Structure 1
Amino acid sequence: MKEAFDVARSPAIPEAVHDEQATRRRAAAAGRGGTTGTGASPAAGAEAPAALPGPVRAAVPAGRERAGAPGGSAGSGKASGPAVAPRPRSRPEEPGFWARHHLAVLTAATLACLLAGVAAERLGAPPAASLFFYVASYLAGGTPAALSGLAALRQRVIDVDLLMVLAALGAAGLGAWEEGATLLFLFSLSNALQSYAMDRTRRAIRALMDLAPETARRLRPGGTEEEVPVEDLRVGDVIAVRPGERIPIDGRVRAGRSTVDQAAITGESVPVAKGPGDEVFAGTMNQLGGLEVEVTRPATDTMLARIVALVQAAQEDRSRTQRLIDRIEQVYATAVVAVAALAAGLPLLWGADPAQTIYRALVLMVVASPCAVAISAPAPVLSAVANAARRGILLKGGRYVEELASVRVVAFDKTGTLTRGEPRVTDVVPLGGATREAVLQAAATAERLSEHPLARAVLAAAAAEGITPAEAADAQAEPGFGVAARSGLGLAWAGSPEFARRHGADPSAAEPVMERLAREGKTVLLTGVGPNLLGCIAVQDTPRPGAREAVAALRRAGLIPVMLTGDRPEVARVIAAQLGITEVRAGLLPEGKLQAVEELSRTLGPVAMVGDGVNDAPALARARVGIAMGAAGTDVALETADVVLVSDEIEKLPFVFDLARRATRTIWQNLVFALSVIVVLVSLTLVGRLELALGVLGHEGSTVLAMLNGLRMLAVRPATHGAAGPAEDSGRTGS
């Protein structure tokens, strides 16, 4: 069965990307004149994603990359080397209505003309009327397959497209126009359904490159600033990064203190304090203080650029199964044509009646036409895709249904996937006779004017308990230490032990509590008013609702849950224990996650990776199936993943695997049934025991039954009330 992929292979990255981006950034900087002291706004790097030079997702299965198919590209193969010439920054032109919907339109036209022809024939209209509609149905339903089949034939390949056209023409030659048009309609319908399922995928990873600003403020020897394209930066240059800006290049802090949200690169759930000597990454967000950063890597070798390269390399290595399918299809199609030719030619050598011999060969072509075989996989797979879509689960291709069924290991990112992705107050510990209300009010007062994630957590906790922070003024934040504000309560503050000492408080009374909370993987704030220490507040990124139940259901299904995270080991172990995950790998950068997926694949079997951020992209692409959390995920994770939980409900994962296993079993049921019917019909034809009417009836009947069997996947429902879900599948699958 032809799959309607329209996405070409990608050019090399990072070289091509940086060639193009260097050109457009230099143009941008030249247009601004490189003004001294003028910088990017806090939203730098946040503009609309740029177009990379060409599509970036290798989604054309081997053997499908042929010219002539509607909407397809001519030729095939991976692009090699950088783009021929840099191009200005622009979005790729959106395909028009016909390019996006031509298969659906042609399928509808095929059905309409088929029904009109049947009606004309049944109502006694002149033969020319029904013939007109049947010919129109042939043209609408057969043209895409004919173009693809002829293109394949020019490459000395016989495929199912060509075989379907030959079978339909054979039916027409026998005067069985209705049966031939029906064959083409079913074939066209399957292609249209597959095209619809594929069209939602693989837009680009261009948003990933736009995480980093296009320009940077380089410090001149005199202390002034000049705005330059990041490609012009050299190792040893010093740049200025203001609060609220993204860091444009990898480097080391030379001066200044701040907190940096680097979840997009490392997966850490809480912004990290940065000071002189600390490493920072391109694409991460500077939050509170200004920094001077010494460049340590060129723009072509930043962590972000390496992530892009890793994603591309992982995506290139994914088409082995499709090559096998195409080889089987080619053997089958060639065999059918050869058998039909022999059936038409050999009897003539023995003096057989030419008309009868040709008739038998044409019947053979009809009954051997692999409609039921062709629909065996698309019917259950696309029904499963539709079922999943109704429940907020997007499968970006039919083949991922079968891939999901083969998975043995489910690897999870922690932050934003197993957890909420935002810190929450978990403990409030009053000290020295203070009350819980006093502790929360002091902390909320100090944090009232702050935009730090920990401040939002404290303010949310206070609001949940009906505590109103006092009016605050003169708020002062010291990145990495804490925040203080003058108020009616006095000088309210919240921060680290060192910050408490600066305000005259003795943090020693809080040390036992802090040690206990730290062992639990929590971030601890001390809070007080003036020299009075009032208590401790612990903040932690808490497990996502339904995560524990989802992990338990997957384990019952025979799947092995594993946590892969860039967060600290002590934090990861605590969350894993809460969720029932026993295998944890922490402190991983994107390359480490990719290597972990590869190792798990070698030792335990096929891996499904579940993630939500840029740091997950290489692992998502390398895994047998990449699963992204939709609402929380970044664009690159969604583009890289094969399955998206659009509604962010992780508890739907067990249903995905259950549905995939059921659909895969149905595929094999259909294939065995369809091939058995073909063998019987072909055998009867070869011995002269089958008339065309019965052959068409058997052929069409097997096709309809295979379709109906596949459509049962629309009725599969999630398991409820702790049912095993995927465990209902008695056999563990693998590959």
Structure 2
Amino acid sequence: MTEKLRLDIPLVLPDVSHAADACVARLMDEFNGRDGIEQVHVTGLQDGGPAQLCVHFDADVLSLRQIRELIVSAGAGITERFGHALWQVEGIGYQRRARTVAEFVRRVPGVLDVEANAGGVVRVEFDRGATSEQVVREALAGRGIRIAKTLGREAPNEHEHHGEHDHHGHSHGEHGETGHDHGHAHGGFLGPNTELIFALGCGAALGLGYALTKLVSGVPSWLPLNLYILAYVLGGFFTLREAIDNLKLRKFEIDTLMLVAAAGAAVLGAWAEGALLLFLFSLGHALEHYAMGRARQAIEALAKLAPQTATVWRDGSTREVRIEELVVGDVVLVRPNERLPADGFVVKGTSSINQAPVTGESIPVDKHPIDDAAAARGRPQSVDAASRVFAGTINGGGAIEVEVTRLAADSALARVVQMVSEAEAQKSPTQRFTDKFERVFVPAVLALAVVLLFAWVVIDEPFRDSFYRAMAVLVAASPCALAIATPSAVLSGVARAARGGVLVKGGAPLENLGSLNAIAFDKTGTLTEGRPRITDIVTFAGVPEDELLAVAVAVEALSDHPLAAAIARDGRQRLQGREIAPASDLKSLTGRGVTAKLGAETIWIGKAEMFGTEGIAALGTEAASAIEKLRQAGRTTMVVRRGNQDLGAIGLMDTPRAGAREALEALRALGIKRMIMISGDHARVAESIAKDVGLDEAWGDLMPEDKVEAIRKLRSEAKVAMVGDGVNDAPAMANATVGISMG
């Protein structure tokens, strides 16, 4: 009889941070093909759940206990032998430097794999039998790389569920970060912008030297010469360090050729031309470093949306702990207006939660306790949206208790940060082509220069002439298109965009903007204003509109709910200064609406579902029909009742930005063939807004990972840009051909 055992990967391999790690493949290879084991694979990735190792085994050959002991033992053996380290480091500011550092560390005996990116994240896998983490640290220090923070997870505690066919292991581990928390990376002794300061100093020395030569007569020759030498020192300082590192690796890259070309220009007496080469090259590197620093700060800002501590119930009382100490199954208390510390589901209390930071929904979502907590624990990814909550979102006016279903490092917000980080490290097609071209071009030019240098041996000419010809070839063959023309064009384009209020992060996005044929838009805050407004007022039984609004404004002015604020604000504008009688005794029916006293009468304002329950009279036929029409149009609808009389309904919606339709028409005129709205809001709302602004397609009810999949699907068909403004849009923007952030 075939059965399945599922174990969370961190339970078996505590040091492994993701299912694509080589140790997972080693563990699977060890069991695939063994007697009694039919299949071993990774599951849980497609439905958003935690990655798990799923083992199909023959229960007549191996018992559950035996298979579990075999897997845990094998995992312990792999963990003991193979070490992993994930660090945030200082000293990597651009992709070429990251590549050089990774190559250095990869040559340390015992190091199996190294990944480094321009954002300063280094991941190392090593064989503990041949080396140690300390040796790897020393290798990085030898390259001028300082470890600022250790990123990773600690070993989880065991927690396993076993059923007749499926067995789930849920780790109660702690995912955390250790080390020293630095808000930014320091580029050198002048702070994070040392390279930029050096590059600008090089340009200043070059410009002053050139001005003295051309504009001032009678200047002694040594003065501009010394300025050019200063420009050489400042412009070539970081380039020389990179070239030396590459030569130690027996590699000739563009840094080496630029230095040799600049030296050749100096030998020929063309000091200004050599200094110009170094200035443009160093400025390109410095700006790339600066852009990556800004990107890293943006990613850190995403991570800070979640609170650092949580109030958790333990041993019958509450205490405050760091979010990294939360384990699956903990119950946390979230007070009104606090940010939620973890993903989970509501077990007690009702409230409205602002999910815009994670899902992009423009209006707070009402939450109520889960009906079956036991079933939710078994399949947390299937919890209904009305009870599921996310770390980093903002609680409304009610206190709630949330049972944690994901560790801090596995929350939806943490996955957003991870997806952005991974996408930032990817190279553009042009960058990959340039890297390959450099590997051939640089050695070829240097070899040609060497051949020409010794031409005097073969032909009858003085050594001086051969040397001059070799230096001339070096200068002429300096990679102008790679090191000067492209950065100059990029800088010009970026500067022009900046003057128009658009910040472009580098050459790759600028290049890709010109070849787009599809654009995907987020809704909230991008095509819309990001706040609800009154769009429709429907009165019942001849009630005047002013009377309905006066009652609604009087009551909603007492509430702090975002929808109440919209009704009070827009209602006052529509009443144009009319005197409004004050309401009192406001009571919130969280998730449904409010009730209050206006004079001697009771006022009810809320969703249609509030009426007909708990002793509140049901809505009449006219009211129910009007509400359904508003909902079909994508409106959030609030019913107003005074005593036993239904006064009317108010429809609210996040309204389109002024000029949104005109902007979309301008994009069509530029040749953008396909434009789509992708939103975390309800499909009806998304379709209504899309119709208002002139879009033909609208995809709603999308979580951040769903938006990523939507962009990947679009990208397989066309070059697509993603336009958004929220945290929930960041992974989709990072996975698009070009990501465009509003604000």
TM-score by length of structure 2 reads 0.70
**Counterpart in the other structure of 2:123:** 80
Q: Do 2:711 and 2:720's aligned partners in 1 also have CA atoms closer than 8 Å?
A: yes
**Counterpart in the other structure of 1:301:** 410
- CA-CA distance at 1:447 after TM superposition: 0.4
**Counterpart in the other structure of 2:366:** 273
Structure 1 residues 567 and 55: alpha-carbon distance in aligned structure 2, compared to 1, 3 A threshold: farther
Letter matched to residue 530 of structure 1: G
Unmatched 5+ stretches in structure 1: 1-10, 16-51, 68-74, 631-735
Structure 1 residues 93 and 399: alpha-carbon distance in aligned structure 2, compared to 1, 3 A threshold: closer
Q: Do 1:57 and 1:315's aligned partners in 2 also have CA atoms closer than 8 Å?
A: no
**Counterpart in the other structure of 1:439:** 548
Unmatched 5+ stretches in structure 2: 1-14, 20-85, 102-113, 125-149, 153-176, 371-386
Matching of residue 342 in structure 1 with residue 451 in structure 2 = yes
Question: Structure 1 residue aligned with 2:489, among 351, 355, 380?
Answer: 380
Matching of residue 456 in structure 1 with residue 565 in structure 2 = yes
**Counterpart in the other structure of 1:590:** 704
For the residue of structure 2 that corresponds to 1:540, the secondary structure is strand
- CA-CA distance at 1:364 after TM superposition: 2.4
Identical counterparts, % of pairs: 41
- CA-CA distance at 1:198 after TM superposition: 5.8
Question: Structure 2 residue aligned with 1:123, among 200, 214, 218?
Answer: 218
Question: Structure 1 residue aligned with 2:596, among 480, 485, 489?
Answer: 485
Q: Do 1:111 and 1:185's aligned partners in 2 also have CA atoms closer than 8 Å?
A: no
For the residue of structure 2 that corresponds to 1:525, the secondary structure is strand
**Counterpart in the other structure of 1:548:** 661
Matching of residue 226 in structure 1 with residue 335 in structure 2 = no
**Counterpart in the other structure of 1:105:** 201
Write the distance in 2 (CA, Å) between the matches of 1:478 and 1:202. 43
Write the distance in 2 (CA, Å) between the matches of 1:286 and 1:347. 81
**Counterpart in the other structure of 2:583:** 472
Q: Do 1:197 and 1:382's aligned partners in 2 also have CA atoms closer than 8 Å?
A: no
For the residue of structure 1 that corresponds to 2:605, the secondary structure is strand
Q: Do 1:169 and 1:180's aligned partners in 2 also have CA atoms closer than 8 Å?
A: yes
- CA-CA distance at 1:538 after TM superposition: 0.2
Q: Do 2:115 and 2:123's aligned partners in 1 also have CA atoms closer than 8 Å?
A: no
Q: Do 1:419 and 1:544's aligned partners in 2 also have CA atoms closer than 8 Å?
A: yes
Write the distance in 2 (CA, Å) between the matches of 1:564 and 1:594. 10
Structure 1 residues 488 and 557: alpha-carbon distance in aligned structure 2, compared to 1, 3 A threshold: same
Letter matched to residue 598 of structure 1: R
Matching of residue 364 in structure 1 with residue 473 in structure 2 = yes
Q: Do 1:445 and 1:469's aligned partners in 2 also have CA atoms closer than 8 Å?
A: yes
Matching of residue 257 in structure 1 with residue 363 in structure 2 = no
Write the distance in 2 (CA, Å) between the matches of 1:591 and 1:429. 38
Q: Which moved more, 1:557-566 or 1:231-240?
A: 231-240
Matching of residue 61 in structure 1 with residue 154 in structure 2 = no
Deviations 1:327-366 (CA, angstroms, capped at 9, x unpaired): 2234333332222222232353132333333222233233
**Counterpart in the other structure of 1:513:** 626
Q: Which moved more, 1:494-503 or 1:433-442?
A: 494-503
Structure 1 residues 250 and 147: alpha-carbon distance in aligned structure 2, compared to 1, 3 A threshold: closer
- CA-CA distance at 1:220 after TM superposition: 4.9
Deviations 1:77-135 (CA, angstroms, capped at 9, x unpaired): 25226648822555347664562522212221232234335567x5263x545544443
Structure 1 residues 196 and 115: alpha-carbon distance in aligned structure 2, compared to 1, 3 A threshold: farther
Structure 1 residues 237 and 133: alpha-carbon distance in aligned structure 2, compared to 1, 3 A threshold: closer
- CA-CA distance at 1:518 after TM superposition: 0.5
Structure 1 residues 471 and 58: alpha-carbon distance in aligned structure 2, compared to 1, 3 A threshold: farther
Question: Structure 2 residue aligned with 1:494, among 588, 591, 605?
Answer: 605
Structure with the higher helix share, 1 or 2: 1
Write the distance in 2 (CA, Å) between the matches of 1:237 and 1:140. 56
Write the distance in 2 (CA, Å) between the matches of 1:427 and 1:57. 57
Write the distance in 2 (CA, Å) between the matches of 1:177 and 1:184. 11
**Counterpart in the other structure of 1:569:** 683
- CA-CA distance at 1:184 after TM superposition: 4.2
Structure 1 residues 537 and 380: alpha-carbon distance in aligned structure 2, compared to 1, 3 A threshold: same
Q: Do 2:637 and 2:649's aligned partners in 1 also have CA atoms closer than 8 Å?
A: yes
Structure 1 residues 491 and 116: alpha-carbon distance in aligned structure 2, compared to 1, 3 A threshold: same
- CA-CA distance at 1:271 after TM superposition: 1.2
Q: Which moved more, 1:361-370 or 1:556-565?
A: 361-370
Q: How many residues align?
A: 575
For the residue of structure 2 that corresponds to 1:406, the secondary structure is coil
**Counterpart in the other structure of 1:644:** none
Q: Do 1:264 and 1:613's aligned partners in 2 also have CA atoms closer than 8 Å?
A: yes
Write the distance in 1 (CA, Å) between the matches of 2:326 and 2:276. 64
Letter matched to residue 711 of structure 2: V
Q: Do 2:199 and 2:279's aligned partners in 1 also have CA atoms closer than 8 Å?
A: no
Q: Which moved more, 1:612-621 or 1:212-221?
A: 212-221
**Counterpart in the other structure of 1:616:** 729
Q: Do 1:107 and 1:188's aligned partners in 2 also have CA atoms closer than 8 Å?
A: no
- CA-CA distance at 1:476 after TM superposition: 1.1
Write the distance in 2 (CA, Å) between the matches of 1:373 and 1:216. 51
TM-score by length of structure 1 reads 0.71
Q: Do 1:563 and 1:585's aligned partners in 2 also have CA atoms closer than 8 Å?
A: yes
Question: Structure 2 residue aligned with 1:557, among 645, 670, 674?
Answer: 670
Deviations 1:18-54 (CA, angstroms, capped at 9, x unpaired): xxxxxxxxxxxxxxxxxxxxxxxxxxxxxxxxxx963
Structure 1 residues 118 and 137: alpha-carbon distance in aligned structure 2, compared to 1, 3 A threshold: farther
Q: Between the two structures, name the one with larger relative contact order (CA 8 Å, sep ≥ 6).
A: 1
Structure 1 residues 499 and 56: alpha-carbon distance in aligned structure 2, compared to 1, 3 A threshold: farther
Structure with the higher strand share, 1 or 2: 2
